[in-house]
Structure 1
Amino acid sequence: MILARLLLFLISLITALFGVYLNSYKILFMSILLLLIHNIVFSLENLRMRNVFLGFQCTMYIFLIGGLVPNYFRGEALNSEFSIQVNYHIVFTIYLSLLFVFLGQYVIENVVFKKSLLKKVDNFGVSDKFHVLLKGNIRSISRNLYYLLYAPFIFSIIEKVIFVQKMGYLSYYTDFQSQIPSIIRRAGNMTEICLFLFLATLPTKKESRIPLLLYIFYGVLAIGYGQRNHLALVLLIIIIYSLMRNNLNGEIWFGKKEFLLTVIGLPFLMSYFAIYQSIRSGTENTFSSFFDAFFGFFEQTGGSVKLIGYADSVDFIFSKERYYSLFAITDYLKNNLFSEFFFNFQTFKDNTIELAQQSNNFAATISYYVTPYNYLQGVGMGSSFLAEVYTDFNYFGVIIISVFYGIISACISNINKNKVILFALALSMLRWFLYTPRFTAFAFITEALSLSNITIIALVYLVSLFSLKRKVQFIR
């Protein structure tokens, strides 16, 4: 298999070189498909070490590549909105990213993990027995806190569902205002990190069943207010976590039954998503068959690829004095409790002209320029890490961040599972990392290190440690 994969990799490189030499985006797009297949095969060779890499290939296809495939095989322009040169730019950018994400993953595996630099067992500097008891307390407290906060979390989702069912999907972005007290909503928003902290303690499959089912229920419920991505990401996170845990303690988390359920269930789910999107947008369902709806799903979700095109075709709207790829970091530093108290940073309200013209928010800038009316009404176009880094640093930026993403992918997959806090943060990062093909570049770091996440982790750890020193063990 390795030889066949290497041959596929070589063919992809040669095809890409021909595409560049002939300035043909269609030849170059074929090299993308070959490289994507190579990357997936590379993942399957060692799913334990490459599960996040596989997940990232999936979201690259879902949010960027998949929407172009039908037009490619129909012999049409990949994206009729753009010129041939811009289509070439789109394809070349995606190819560079796929190539260097792979190289980042490959190098970190062979340079770092083979030397076991990140595989030391961490017992919090104490005895094995103390470590086991501490982990047990963290597991119990985080699970109970997850159940406690799940109620306000779900109430917030139900409120949105009821509003959208009454007022319509677009009204959610323009008119929705929650009637639930802010403190309750903030508490509910801490639910996910409690789940990740619980999962980071390596509970048994049986112990994890109810928490994970509740997590899936949240994803299903979110469809009610038009958010398909929530369920897709929830399922992808559960699959990747199961691959991480598979045979880790002699327990099968992802066997033949789970594999068949995934292979059979996902196509039907994608087809449902496509039909639902047609209904949600108020257009007539034009899908004539299951396969038509299945491929239609990728055309619907692949719209973020246009952002890569706009980053080149309307580059004049972006200020050269701002770094759009760093928006998540600058926003994190400006909009937090400490900064608001000690400093007077300039901030802007969402979906305003000032945000679009005076900030480094790529999503706001491009949305206001391309669809100004929708933007001011609360509906944006989103972002993509590739569009942002190209705007800031051209193709050099695409290469650097792709290598960085490959390293991050490898580190999350191979994180030391004995480091509970680190593993919980890695799971929190995973959710947003998989979303970066249609989200801002570094949000997976700032979201994982949010004040609420840090507060919950610190609280659970300190209570667990204090109770253990007082010789108190929580009921499991």
Structure 2
Amino acid sequence: MPIYYTLMPLMFFGSLLLGNIAGSTINFTPIIMAFLFFYFITLIKAIYIFGIFSLYPIYLYTSFFFVYTRLYFHVIGYRSFLDSNTVVGRHIFNNSVGIIFICIIFLSHYIIDIFYTCSFRKINIKNELIYLPKIESCGLFLMILFSPAIIYKLYLQFLYVSENGYVSMYLYGFKNISYPFWTKGSGTFFLLGYLLILFSYPAKKIFIFASIIYFIYALTGSLKGSRGTLLVPLVAIIFFYYKLYHSKISFKMIMVVLIFFVLFSIGLGKYRGSYGKNKINASIQYGMINSFFYGQGSTIDVPLGLISESKRIEKYRHFPFIFSALLKPIFFQLYPDNGSERLMITLEKYNNMPAIVTYILSPKIYLTGQGLGGSVIAEMYDCGKFVGIIAWSLILGFIIKIVDKILVLRNRYIPFCWFLVNSVIGMPRDYFFSFSNAIPYMIIIFVIINLVNIIFSSKQKLLN
């Protein structure tokens, strides 16, 4: 291992010299190939040591899917990763921006891998999962009871989006929808039911049944146009199945899931552009597999835009972007969303990095409700440049490690793991603290878990 962690930086820095970074013309191909070589060696090593569906390899998968696909397409000559043509229009970023970007993603993965790999082997935690059949039954009852209501609620949202256009979600939200009274709170109780099932360490058949119901829920929600609404929970379900039951997942099953998601996403990408009157004229057409994977890499525009336009961004940046997700509930209270001024309030008050970067790159596109997503690597870099990359990569490695090795082996922690796992899976194109949106659910489940413990403890004392 020490030789590996010495050779990889030397090889990467050697590629920088080979790419002539000090010259007027930079050859990015050897630099990108060196990074991708490091990435794939790291991925293979992680799969071999920790397992194909441990959380660390999953983070590496989604990093490539959401960000590094652009680097791959650069190497094969499909399009330069600095020549971006996405929802915000065409932008050609400077070579210096590209060098900084590749250096920070190398540094981040290098730090995470050292911390995770070297500290992982020192942890030997006993599996303390206990089957709780009564909690399992309670959770299943809640899911079955509220699944029709929440799916109908999502169906109404789908009808609204299909009539008013995909961007209507971001322009107006769903405040104009009139929901039947019997759908109120259905989403909260449905999710609570699934979390209770996870907490109970359910029988494998019950887990599969409940996860199928949850998959139908996620699939219905994704019809509004968001592929991540389906992908992230689907991968999270596979992770928990792999971790809780130590079950091997066949290569055939992996390919079936992958092909389904790709075909579904291509179809959804084409179909959502025809929703309502606000049709989206995307620069990338999703009729080909290559175009689909290239389009998924649009997340790269966020760090490239942040690095390139840092001076212009300062006008709207009130504090490091990485903390914005934590403070979102406070922003909502201080600056309520009144509908008509939603976009400008988000831009000027919420310290929202994707909104600011989108607006700087294309004000016209931003004001139509379209825009870029989040980017954890951009947040890390924004909070301290290279020092921020090192510090936040260490923290991320720690989070992945405790979830992967400790929390999934305790009943009381598994519901919280659900949110952390979903957060880590989507983190390459989301926020570092994206799980903060789930804090109310965490509080509710924490209270319920403690009540359950009190009840069971009382019954045990009476029996004794």
TM-score interval, normalised by the smaller of the two chains = 0.7 to 0.9
Contact 1:19 1:26 in 2 (8 A): no
- Cα deviations across residues 159-211 of structure 1 (Å, max 9, x unaligned)? 12222333332334335433226994544145334313312322121121211
Map of 2:194 onto structure 1: 195
Partners of 2:15 and 2:115 in 1: CA distance: 24
Contact 1:328 1:440 in 2 (8 A): yes
The letter for the 2-side match of 1:199 is L
In structure 2, the CA distance between the partners of 1:139 and 1:379, relative to structure 1 (3 Å rule), is same
Number of corresponding residues:
432
Partners of 2:169 and 2:327 in 1: CA distance: 27
Contact 1:325 1:388 in 2 (8 A): yes
1:470 CA displacement = 5.0
Contact 1:364 1:380 in 2 (8 A): yes
1:82 aligns with 2:93: yes
For structure 2, the 5+ residue unaligned runs are: 22-26, 84-91, 275-280
Map of 2:278 onto structure 1: none
Map of 1:98 onto structure 2: 109
Map of 1:296 onto structure 2: 291
1:74 CA displacement = 0.7
Map of 2:397 onto structure 1: 406
Contact 1:327 1:360 in 2 (8 A): yes
CA RMSD of aligned residues (A): 3.1
The letter for the 1-side match of 2:209 is I
Partners of 1:207 and 1:415 in 2: CA distance: 23
Contact 1:237 1:430 in 2 (8 A): yes
Contact 2:299 2:429 in 1 (8 A): yes
Partners of 2:31 and 2:11 in 1: CA distance: 7
The letter for the 2-side match of 1:254 is K
Select the residue among 260, 266, 279 that pairs with 2:252. Answer: 260
Partners of 1:141 and 1:310 in 2: CA distance: 48
Map of 2:226 onto structure 1: 227
- Cα deviations across residues 340-377 of structure 1 (Å, max 9, x unaligned)? 6xxxx566668432432344221222233223334334
1:65 aligns with 2:68: yes
Select the residue among 156, 159, 164 that pairs with 1:159. Answer: 156
* TM alignment of 1:326-345, pairs within 5 A: 326-332=323-329, 334=330, 345=334
* TM alignment of 1:13-412, pairs within 5 A: 13-21=9-17, 22-23=20-21, 24-47=27-50, 51-74=54-77, 76-80=79-83, 81-111=92-122, 113=123, 116=124, 119=125, 135-175=132-172, 176=174, 177-180=176-179, 184-247=183-246, 253-256=247-250, 259-282=251-274, 292-293=288-289, 295-319=290-314, 322-332=319-329, 334=330, 345=334, 351-412=342-403
Partners of 2:427 and 2:177 in 1: CA distance: 27
Partners of 1:377 and 1:182 in 2: CA distance: 32
Map of 1:430 onto structure 2: 421
Partners of 2:421 and 2:110 in 1: CA distance: 21
In structure 2, the CA distance between the partners of 1:11 and 1:206, relative to structure 1 (3 Å rule), is same
1:260 CA displacement = 1.4
Partners of 1:76 and 1:335 in 2: CA distance: 39
Map of 2:87 onto structure 1: none
Partners of 2:396 and 2:443 in 1: CA distance: 23
- Cα deviations across residues 296-329 of structure 1 (Å, max 9, x unaligned)? 2221111010000111111013337512111112
TM-score by length of 1: 0.81
For structure 1, the 5+ residue unaligned runs are: 124-130, 248-252, 472-476
Partners of 1:149 and 1:456 in 2: CA distance: 17
Partners of 2:234 and 2:106 in 1: CA distance: 27
TM-score by length of 2: 0.83
Partners of 1:70 and 1:396 in 2: CA distance: 29
Select the residue among 437, 442, 455 that pairs with 2:433. Answer: 442
Contact 2:128 2:411 in 1 (8 A): no
Contact 1:101 1:403 in 2 (8 A): yes
